[in-house]
Amino acid sequence: MAETVGVISTYQTDYRSQHPDVTFVEQAQQAAVGALHAGNMRPDDVDAVVFSLAPTNFMGVADADRWAIDYIFGAGKPMFRVHTGGATGGSAVHAAYSLVRAGTFRIVMVIGAERIAETPDAQAVLNTIFDLFYERDMPLSTNTSVALQASAYMQRHGITQEDLAQAVVRQRWNALRHPQAHLKGEITVGDVMASPMISYPLKLYDICPRSSGSAAMIVGNVEALDSFQSRPAFLNGIGSVTGTYWVGDRLSPTADIDYAEMSLTDFSGAACFRRADIKDPVKEIQVVELYDPYSLVGYVQLERLGFCPRGKAARLDSEGFWDLDGGQVAVNPSGGTLCSNPIAITGLARCIDAANQVMGTAGGIQVHGVRNALATAVGGISQFHNVTIFGEDHVPDREEV
Amino acid sequence: MTKVYVVGVATHEPSSAIRGSRLEEMVYRTARAALDDAGVSRRQIDNVTIAACDEFDGRPISSMLLSGPAGAYLVDEIKVTDDGAMGLCLGLSRIQSGDFDLGLVASWSKTSKTDVESIMNNRAEPFFTRPLGMNMSIANGLFAQAVAEEFGVTEDEATTRVVDAYERASANSRGMNHSVPTTDEVRSSPFEATPLREGHNAPITDGAVCLVLASEQWLHRHPGHEALARVAGVGWATDSYRLDRERLRSMSSARAAWDRALADAGVSGSDLGAVEIDTPTSYHEAAYARTFDIDGAALSPAGSTFAQHPLFCSGLVNAAEAILQAAGRAGPVQKAATRWTAAHSCHGFAQQGNVAMVFEGSHNG
């Protein structure tokens, strides 16, 4: 029988453009120490480490995870690095979950750090992820590829730029209460509309910042939870899926995946909901932490995950449906990826913000009465998508019932 | 804990430089061959674990391009970046967790397209070791110095081990079939990083390897499929990043990984009929043979890295060879009594990380 897995502790540093006061490894150490302190644990309590690190090109040290080993108390322990692009943090949590659930280890630390500002132009690095022969010269970049997606989505559903801007307004407002958030503030739809156009219909404020920071989550089995955490967030479900590399292969009417609508989410969402026994997400999930580096991306995921009908998420936003206070489902109380995007650990941060809500440790952004919280991560131009559900109660496997 | 079996295995034909195929084609062919070996279709697998290195592959997030050729389309896929054998460790846990039933583990290495030593130098932290010019050769040299002192490894032993390894490798039809050097040729080869001579190194090749893993429940539901071997135990550990003498001579992560794998399998080293040990140089073989207390007939009968040495996935190739031994399918390098076999992988500067894997065969060798 598989082990029950729960979150023991979490920690995040502040997310900023740069952390010139510390090196990468010191930054990682801050997260390790923070998570250990939060769990009232010692380094020897951790059996294994999963390092969350996306492309190393941003920082220019190809073995940065191994450089960090001594600083995160990993020397002598089993450790590996997970890397699935923007989805890395979510994948790393899934890997740690599997290691504990399989009974391989009792306690695993998921940890990572990001220093994207070490490169003078992260966009230049990201431009090289596209296919060299056909798609790179379009020219596709992370901005233009999502702009194409947004244009198609808006045309299909009659959504305006002002509709999309609501996500930015809501989340920067939420982020005012999240001490670690990078961008925050009281802004208006007009402010978003007035920000510089980057790639139609995306303006500067529709797009996430480049953030640096570090984060860690410690997960364990029942024995570990008994020792270190009286109110864990149980990892009740995971779902992950990989689609095609080619954006062009997601645009035709007969494509398996609809690029504009991010229908890849259907697969990861269904797998996660099945494992977590979620049948009606709006009724059963109180908090959603979405990987949304662009204003559009949160809305499409809400729709594909079944929180509302297609084309309705932005309209429901205007009715306060996704508000932190008084909404039906609190969407990105942390401010989400629109406010902080340390790529290597963004998915981990989403999981931490969701787990904290279940554990009642979310501080100023705590939502009342959270029984289940969901986190997502997206990588590789929406090629990788994963979903994780944290619950107040453990959901038994079928053979346990 | 769910038992996990290997039901398919494939290695790509190695070469010092595979020029006729793009990396995507190499990966596709190897994944296809492993699925065919298992007698399953791509649509039947429910997860893929990739072990690959962006820097060697020459692109950030290389799994964007290569997940498709590796069979990961509309399934749960994850990637580790340490070395190929780590993919087996995570792939194993994913099935043992009960969330998955049938998975593919894929790894590859086409370093003929890259400047390996520049990448290795870029792996060094930027403040101290990188400006010193740290790279793979120098790290291996430091390792060789340390283990020579710790274990009393002489140049004669290192030379003899090279010749013996090439001899064993020459019988491996899945290997490069390198010519076997004479001891004089090895001994007179130029120094690369004292005490390492060029002749002590296993020549780096291109290559790829895939395994298909199945849960015992899947095998029960599909009685027409036969297991090649059970993955009986795995262990992995990582040492300090420091390259000082104490760390290099301690072999502590190798010992920890080995002990965990044997304990999980419930066997001792003397039970193992064949152990493919990752040996970037013959000094590595000398050190690991002592650390694991494996030598003689059981030591790397397939020739390990001297048969083929795809840098990133050599450890998983070793696993494939050990599985074939356990299944009685190792061909010309098959040992007689091989119920229990093992494989080893090392990675990072001066073998900072180690992985050990133990397999149980079902044939009566």
Q: Domain containing B80 — which CATH number?
A: 3.40.47.10
Q: How much of chain B exceeds pLDDT 70, in percent?
A: 99
With an 8 Å Cβ cutoff, are B348 and A56 in contact? no
**Domain contains B57:** yes
Please name the residue of chain A whose CA is at the shortest distance from the CA of residue B83: A80
As a whole number, mean pLDDT of residues A88-106 equals: 98
Whether residue B18 lies inside any domain: the answer is yes
User: Touching check for A396 and chain B: CB below 8 Å?
Assistant: no
A152-to-A254, A391, B49 alpha-carbon distances in Å: 16, 35, 33
Report d(CA A66, CA B139) in Å as an integer.
14
Closest CA to B300 of B164, B173, B206, B180: B164
pLDDT over 80 at B363, yes or no: no
- On whether residue B96 sits in a domain, the answer given is yes
Tens of pLDDT along A26-37? 999 999 999 999
Q: How many CB atoms are located within 10 Å of the residue B290 CB?
A: 16
Tell me the per-residue pLDDT of B174-224, one tens digit each, with 9 for 90 and over: 999 999 999 999 999 999 999 999 999 999 999 999 999 999 999 999 999
Q: Which residue has the higher pLDDT, A128 or B17?
A: B17
State yes or no: pLDDT of A267 exceeds 80.
Answer: yes
**A56 at B interface, C-beta within 8 A:** yes
Question: SS in 3 state form for B50-101?
Answer: EECCHHHHCCCCCHHHHCCCCCCCCEEEEEECCCHHHHHHHHHHHHHCCCCC
Binary contact (B76, A240; C-beta < 8 A): yes
Q: Which residue of A has its CA nearest to B255?
A: A76
Statement: residue A120 has pLDDT above 90: no
Range of the domain at B86: 4-111+207-221
Structure-model confidence comparison of residues B73 and B338, the more confident one: B73
Beta-carbon separation of A94 and B78 below 8 A: yes
* CB-based contact B239 A242, cutoff 8 Å: no
Three-class SS string for chain A?
A: CCCCCEEEEEEECCCECCCCCCCHHHHHHHHHHHHHHHCCCCHHHCCEEEEECCCHHHCCCCCHHHHCCCCCCCCCCCEEEECECECHHHHHHHHHHHHHHCCCCCEEEEEEEEEHHHCCCHHHHHHCCCCCCCCCCCCCCHHHHHHHHHHHHHHHHCCCHHHHHHHHHHHHHHHCCCCCCCCCCCCCHHHHHHCCEEECCEEHHHECCCCEEEEEEEEECHHHHHHHCCCCEEEEEEEEEECCCCCHHHCCCCCCCCCCCCCHHHHHHHHHHHHHCCCCHHHHCCEEECCCCEHHHHHHHHHHCCCCCCCCHHHHHHCCCCCCCCCCCEECCCCHHHHCCCHHHHHHHHHHHHHHHHHCCCHHHCCCCCCEEEEEEEECCCCEEEEEEEECCCCCCHHHC
Q: Report the run of H or E that residue B118 belongs to, with start and end.
A: helix B116-123
Are A141 and A129 within 8 A, CB to CB?
no
Pull the structure tokens for residue A154. 């808006």
Q: What's the pLDDT score for residue B248?
A: 95
Q: Does B316 contact chain A (CB < 8 Å)? A: no
Query: Does any CB of chain A come closer than 8 Å to the CB of residue B239?
Result: yes
Percent of residues in chain B assigned helix, strand, coil, to nearest 5: 40, 20, 35
Strand partners, A234: A6, A391
In B222-293, which residue ranges form alpha helices assigned H by DSSP?
245-250, 252-265, 282-292
C-beta atoms of A243 and B64 within 8 A: no
Domain spans of chain A, in order of start: 6-120+210-220
Q: In degrees rounded to 5, what are phi and psi of residue B218?
A: -65, -45
Is B163 an 8 Å CB contact of chain A?
A: no
Q: Does B73 touch chain A (CB under 8 A)?
A: yes
Select the residue from A29, A51, A98 to test the B interface by mutation, using most B Cβ atoms within 10 A. Answer: A98
CB A333 within 8 A of CB A288: no
Closest chain A CA to residue B72: A242
Helix axes B282-292, B136-151, angle to 10 degrees: 50
Determine the CATH number of domain A6-120+210-220: 3.40.47.10
Q: How far is A102 from chain B (nearest CA, A)?
A: 4
Nearest to A241 among B76, B89, B122 (CB): B76
Consecutive H or E run containing B106: strand B102-109
Q: Within a domain: residue B72? A: yes
pLDDT above 60: residue A320 = yes
A397 in B contact zone (CB under 8 Å): yes
Q: Taking a contact as any Cβ pair under 8 Å apart, which residues of chain B between 251 and 280 contact chain A?
A: 252-253, 256-257, 260
Asked, for residue B338, whether it belongs to a domain, the answer is no
Q: At B365, is the pLDDT very low, low, confident or very high (cuts 50, 70, 90)?
A: very low
Q: Is the pLDDT of residue A135 over 90?
A: no
pTM over the 0.90 mark: yes
How many structural domains compose chain B? 1
pLDDT score for A137: 84
| Whether pLDDT at A313 is above 70 | yes
Tokens of B109: 């290495």
Contact A128 B59 (CB under 8 A): yes
Q: Is residue B212 part of a domain?
A: yes
Give the whole-angstrom CA distance, residue B210 versus residue B230.
Answer: 16
- pLDDT (0 to 100) of residue A399: 60
Distance from the B1 Cα atom to the nearest Cα atom in chain A, whole angstroms:
7
* Residue B329 falls inside a structural domain: no
**pLDDT in the model for residue A119:** 87
Taking each helix axis as running N to C, give the angle between helix A295-304 and helix A264-276, from 0 to 180 degrees, rounded to the nearest 10.
50
pLDDT value, residue A398: 64
Q: What is the pLDDT of residue B295?
A: 87
Q: Chain A neighbours among B 334-353 (CB < 8 Å)?
A: 348-349, 352-353
* pLDDT over 90 at B159, yes or no: yes
Confidence band for A138, pLDDT divided at 50, 70 and 90: confident
In a domain, B24, yes or no: yes
Q: How far is Cα B174 from Cα B13, in angstroms, rounded to an integer?
A: 7
Q: Say if residue A50's pLDDT is above 60.
A: yes
pLDDT tops 80 at residue B23: yes
d(CA B310, CA B313): 6
pLDDT digits (tens, 9 = 90+) for B79-106: 999 999 999 999 999 999 999 999 999 9
